[in-house]
Amino acid sequence: MANKNSHQDEDARQDTYPDLSDPSLFLNRELTWLAFNQRVLNEALDSRIPLLERVKFAAIAGSNLDEFFMKRIGGLKQQVGAGIHEETVDGRSPREQIDACYAFVREHHREREVLLEGLWTELAGVGIEITSYKKLDENEQALVRHDYYNNIFPLVTPQSIDPAHPFPFISNLSLNLLVTLRYPQEKATSLARVKLPISAGAPRFVQVIKQQRYVFLEDVMANNLDMLFPGMEILNCELFRVTRNANTSRNEEHADDLLALIESTLQDRKFSPIVRLQVHPDMDSVHRGRLAAELGLNEETDVFEVSGMMGMRDLWQLANLDLPKLKDPVHHPVDHPALESKRNIFHVIRDSRAILLQHPYESFSSSVERFLGEAAIDPKVRAIKMTLYRTSPQSPIVDTLIRAAQNGKQVAVVVELKARFDEEANIRLANRMEEAGIHATYGVVGLKTHCKLILVLRQDYKGLRRYVHIGTGNYHPVTARLYSDLGLFVYDKDIGQDATELFNYLTTGYTPKRNYNKLLPAPKHLKKALISKIEREITKHTKERPGRIIFKMNALEDPDICIALYRASIAGVRVDLIVRDSCRVRPGVQGISETMRVISIVGRFLEHARIYYFQNAGDEEFYIGSADAMRRNLEHRVEVVAPIESRQLRQDLLDMLEIQLSDQRSAWEMQSNGTYAQRQPDENGDARSSQEVQIEQAEKRFHDAKRLRSRKAKSFGKRNLR
């Protein structure tokens, strides 16, 4: 009878639901991402953060915006060019999205100029001066000129622009000087393009006589053009920068060789259409118009004026200065307490059944790298299977896999060749592994392999055992120190079988009905499972035992998931969302999302973990994995999330989520209109960020475990003495 009433209540709710497809309920993916980048830029304004860390955030924000134009604006422009007028769930056509993004970016530029001026002033206050070439004295100018002539000038290649020399190719993200010149005593002028050869040997910020004084490279070049154009009269010199579309994917369905296809796609990207031109406001209007025309851009919309520094990603040079007092204290990850032992790591995992890793608070090298390292030399290990989405070009992980193959292990690696901007590195790594005898495959046609999975098969005394690592982050030793991620070592028969099934799918592409016991892979199972679990939370929600959902992810974009979450909030379920960047839902809308809360955490480490929590009437469920709640992830990628079944590990995850939800230092809370407000600690409240708390907790776990081992050792020693 209770079950029948439950269904009647559900039917009643269905009848009273408002129209959840109303575009006003959904925020735009691109605009919410731009708002996230604004939050990143805000870190550069925050006086609580050490100065060079703030410079770093400005560099990140600049690099992020470049990628946004390359990927998102580039994609929208392709849609406009193809005549696509289909509206997004928030009611915008591709053209309308571009216009809204451009308006946002122009306002963003104005704020950025003010920020940079403030940074230059503060840097000067601590002895790091960014000055102009003309402000140097004669001796300093002579020394800079001499250094430029010897170390940079040979790299420079001027190109004329005239009837005999067609308009030159302009490479992506390049900084260029447009020089107007003429022969002495003549009226006719000509143009030349000079590309800044920015590289390790030609830095953007040219140091003045071993002091912490710097001049922009373009300033040095502009004031020494007589070297390039001897005897010519230099009338004007103007800086410009271009951004090209990075969306050059071809149809791989008909590709005979995926590797060759990706290589040709990379070649296409170098010559892909330009989507943005950046110029200084004082550029000659004729030159501005000519550049726009030559580059195939609309002068009114696609040209962006930048008053200050173009190419803010080059601020990394200053952020990397060796000045510890102007940076955060160096963070040293601790070893996971369970892995501090020198015992065989497979014995440790087998005894523990499951070990939850929290990076970068806990070490990646002493956990994941150790796991692979021991697998490579353990005589009982028969095979290693692994997915590889991104890793460092000189990755020790690849060296370890090669060593394993040389030691006679069967090694199979699924390399994702289409990982954006890492394609070339992954092609090189795949070739290198194949040459070493590793079985390298490239995943399933039409899908990106984004899951993070390692399967090690080891011959124990009871037969072949399967040890699995499932992660939320890439197997990348560098980003493992910069991104906040989770990993799970698990010894579980069902998960081991599921991992085997998944690798068989990835290496063959065959799609018969595949059964999974515990893992939830995309695209076949995960989305349906998430929606089903949200609906279950609605069904089980009562006043006596209210339901709760907590999702932590990089982005929440899938309309079906958004609608399911709205339905949960309407039913009274408490919905807490920790979403780093793009988020389509609006919390606090009367009658729709009054029990919903959305926060974004921006801090020292890039929040990158994905967690799905369902209270489930007390029988709590936790899942971690690689998938964001985005349509591309759930429908067009191979993803996997895994259950956390240990009661202690569930509590650890819940504690972590609650720490983040209560963060009053690094959390930004979304308002019902879609804007964000940064939380501020109360006068007597905790002024620490959630990341600072997690650092302290990881260190406490490590030291508590160390003291416990020490007490046990002393107790054991006393018993032996007796």
d(CA 164, CA 116): 41
CB atoms within 10 A of CB 12: 9
Listing DSSP states for 40-90 in one string gives HHHHTT-TTS-HHHHHHHHHHHHHHHHHHIIIIIHHHHHHHHTT-----TT
Residue 584 near residue 32, CB atoms below 8 Å: yes
Mean pLDDT of the region 695-714: 86
pLDDT band at residue 682 using 50, 70 and 90 as cut-offs:
confident
Question: Which amino acid type is present at position 309?
Answer: M
pLDDT value, residue 478: 92
pLDDT band at residue 252 using 50, 70 and 90 as cut-offs:
very low
Q: Which residues contact 621 (CB under 8 A, 6 or more apart)?
A: 533, 612, 613, 614, 643
Q: Is the pLDDT of residue 250 over 50?
A: no
Which of 336, 359, 450, 608 is flagged as catalytic?
450
Give percent of the chain above pLDDT 70: 92
Q: Is 127 exposed, middle or buried (0-12, 13-18, 19+ CB in 10 A)?
A: exposed
Q: Is the pLDDT of residue 608 over 60?
A: yes
Domain 337-514 in this protein, CATH class: alpha beta
495-540 pLDDT, tens digit each: 999 999 999 999 887 766 788 999 999 999 999 999 999 999 999 9
Lowest mean pLDDT among 159-168, 311-320, 578-587: 159-168
pLDDT value, residue 260: 54
- In the chain, the N- to C-terminal Cα span, in Å, equals 67
Mean pLDDT of the region 91-98: 96
d(CA 639, CA 519): 10
Q: Is the pLDDT of residue 266 over 60?
A: no
Q: Which residue has the higher pLDDT, 434 or 98?
A: 98
Q: Which residues contact 210 (CB under 8 A, 6 or more apart)?
A: none
d(CA 594, CA 78): 38
pLDDT band at residue 421 using 50, 70 and 90 as cut-offs:
low
Question: Which amino acid type is present at position 381?
Answer: V
pLDDT value, residue 717: 61
Q: What angle do CA 27, 32, 34 make, to 5 degrees?
A: 150
Q: What angle do CA 343, 695, 365 make, to 5 degrees?
A: 40
> Smallest Cα–Cα separation from 316: which of 61, 121, 112, 130?
61
Residue 565 near residue 539, CB atoms below 8 Å: no
d(CA 304, CA 300): 9
Q: Is the pLDDT of residue 137 over 60?
A: yes
pLDDT value, residue 253: 43
Q: Is the pLDDT of residue 549 over 90?
A: yes
> Smallest Cα–Cα separation from 397: which of 416, 380, 373?
373
| Single pTM value for the model | 0.92
Lowest mean pLDDT among 84-88, 97-101, 246-250, 679-683: 246-250
The 3-state secondary structure of 464-532, one letter per residue? EEEEEEEECCCCCCCHHHCEEEEEEEECCHHHHHHHHHHHHHHHHCCCCCCCCCCCEEECCCHHHHHHH
Tokens of 657: 């989520």
Tokens of 42: 């805000």
Tokens of 698: 């990881």
The 3-state secondary structure of 125-162, one letter per residue? HCCCEEECHHHCCHHHHHHHHHHHHHHCHHHCCEEEEE
Sign of CA dihedral 631, 637, 643, 644: negative
Question: Which amino acid type is present at position 44?
Answer: A
DSSP-derived letter for residue 285 is H
Mean pLDDT of the region 273-299: 95
Question: Which amino acid type is present at position 25?
Answer: L
Q: Which residue has the higher pLDDT, 683 or 121?
A: 121
d(CA 482, CA 607): 9
360-379 pLDDT, tens digit each: 999 999 999 999 999 999 99
The CA distances from residue 612 to 26, 280, 436, 518, 654, in Å, are 21, 47, 39, 14, 11
Each domain of the chain, given as residue ranges in start order, spans 26-326, 337-514, 534-621+644-704
CB atoms within 10 A of CB 72: 21
Q: Is the pLDDT of residue 70 over 60?
A: yes
pLDDT value, residue 262: 44
Query: Helix, strand or coil for residue 564?
Result: helix
- Computed over every residue of the chain, the mean pLDDT equals 91
d(CA 397, CA 386): 11
pLDDT value, residue 432: 85
Give percent of the chain above pLDDT 90: 79
Mean pLDDT of the region 272-300: 94
Residue 9 CA, chain-centre distance (Å), reads: 42
d(CA 251, CA 515): 29
pLDDT band at residue 259 using 50, 70 and 90 as cut-offs:
very low
- Is 534-621+644-704 a domain of CATH 1.20.120.1810? no
pLDDT value, residue 16: 64
pLDDT value, residue 66: 96
pLDDT value, residue 423: 67
Tokens of 434: 């194949």
Mean pLDDT of the region 64-71: 95
Q: Is the pLDDT of residue 269 over 70?
A: no
pLDDT band at residue 248 using 50, 70 and 90 as cut-offs:
low
Q: Is the pLDDT of residue 5 over 70?
A: no
pLDDT band at residue 153 using 50, 70 and 90 as cut-offs:
very high
In sequence order, the β-bridge partners of residue 181 are 190, 234
Please provide residue 689's backbone torsions phi and psi, each rounded to the nearest 5 degrees.
Answer: -80, 160
Which CATH number does the domain 26-326 belong to among 3.40.50.410, 3.30.1840.10, 3.40.718.10, 3.20.20.70? 3.30.1840.10
CB atoms within 10 A of CB 459: 13
Told to judge if 450 belongs to the known catalytic residues of this protein, a careful annotator would answer yes
Q: What angle do CA 428, 430, 431 make, to 5 degrees?
A: 65
Query: Helix, strand or coil for residue 283?
Result: coil
d(CA 45, CA 122): 11
Mean pLDDT of the region 280-304: 95
pLDDT value, residue 687: 87
Mean pLDDT of the region 141-155: 96
Q: Is the pLDDT of residue 617 over 70?
A: yes
Hey, do 26-326 and 337-514 end up sharing a CATH topology, with the first three levels equal? no
pLDDT band at residue 261 using 50, 70 and 90 as cut-offs:
very low
